[in-house]
């Protein structure tokens, strides 16, 4: 199981500790959960949209509310460091698409 987490797979509802730390530090977990709708869509629902990690970085910095019309608009997260954005985006993009 640890091997699959290192390769970026979620292993169900687990978030790797280094990613969970970034998500918590940057307040993502206040609105997003792994597999449940909260204020924003779940990480799995986002992954199912098929965004690339580069697209995800851009969407986190400059959200497009029309992409998720069933949810309140997300605030731009332009203050998050690029390195952290990239790590979170790569992880989200690696989640199962089905």
Model's pTM, two decimal places? 0.83
Q: Spell out the residues 6+ positions from residue 69 whose beta carbon is closer than 8 angstroms to its own.
A: none
- Distance between CA 71 and CA 45 in Å, rounded? 12
> What percentage of residues in the chain have a pLDDT greater than 90?
83
Domains of the chain: 2-94 (1.10.760.10)
The model's pLDDT over 33-69, given as tens digits with 9 standing for 90+, comes to 999 999 999 999 999 999 999 999 999 999 999 999 9
- Is residue 89 predicted with pLDDT exceeding 80? yes
- Is residue 3 predicted with pLDDT exceeding 80? no
pLDDT for position 61? 96
Q: Where do the DSSP E strands lie in the chain?
A: none
């Amino acid at each position: 199981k640890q091997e699959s987490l290192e390769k970026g797979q979620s292993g169900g509802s687990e978030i790797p500790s280094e990613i969970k730390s970034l998500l918590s530090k940057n307040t993502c977990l206040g609105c997003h959960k792994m597999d449940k709708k909260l204020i924003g869509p779940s990480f799995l629902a986002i992954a199912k949209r098929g965004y690339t990690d580069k697209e995800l970085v851009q969407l986190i910095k400059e959200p497009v509310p029309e992409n998720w019309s069933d949810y309140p608009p997300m605030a731009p997260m332009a203050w998050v460091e690029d390195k952290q954005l990239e790590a979170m985006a790569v992880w989200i993009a690696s989640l199962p698409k089905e």
